[in-house]
Amino acid sequence: MTALIPHIGIASVCLAALAFLLGAIIERGAQLQTHLQRAVAAGALPSGLVLVYGAIDPTVLVQVPGLNIPILCGGLSLLYMSLKAATQKSS
């Protein structure tokens, strides 16, 4: 896995471009926002995999530049879910 770390950025760009192009070809009538959402989600896959692997081997995280936003999104998601569950009224 550590040998793939330098290629995370390239993989993200390739996946995003591929998702955008395939979506534009398959769903020609869809709005631009739909294609961009799909591209952003596909481009985030490599970073997501690195974050999951980083939970097992934290030394990997310091080797990957640009993980600030994915880490922030993970933290915000965890905070949101925790606050929502903590403030939810029981039925």
Residue written as tokens 């979506």? 23
CB atoms within 10 A of CB 42: 19
pLDDT tens digits along 3-33: 878 888 899 999 999 999 999 999 999 999 9
What percentage of residues in the chain have a pLDDT greater than 70?
99
Where exactly are the structural domains of the chain? Answer: 2-66
What percentage of residues in the chain have a pLDDT greater than 90?
68
Could you tell me the pTM of the whole model?
Answer: 0.75
Tell me which amino acid residue 12 is.
S
Task: Return d(Cα 14, Cα 3) in angstroms, integer.
Answer: 18
